[in-house]
Amino acid sequence: MDRDSLVKMANRIASFFEGTGTESEAQQEVCNHLRKFWAPTMRAALVAEIDAGGATGLHPLVRAAVMRLRVELLAPTA
């Protein structure tokens, strides 16, 4: 999947969870959603894009969730 599509989808997720409880709770919800509904390759591509300094236009909530919860996000799903 291309970078722009990943960013667009991640931003929609962040917009949905933006008002969910505290900032930490919203980050956890974004992470949970990405783990539950995104393929591991999509999650890895998003993390790699952020690590490379890309993902311009990414919602700050997504960026914060990925940075804080990257180990959980990249763990295999059960």
* Integer Rg of the chain from CA: 11
Q: Which two tokens stand for residue 25?
A: 């709770």
User: What is the pTM for the complete model shown?
Assistant: 0.85
Given this model, what pLDDT does residue 77 score?
A: 66
> Cβ distance 1 to 44 under 8 Å?
no
76 to 27, 33, 40: CA distances (angstroms): 19, 14, 7
- Tens of pLDDT, residues 11-49: 999 999 998 889 999 999 999 999 899 998 999 899 988
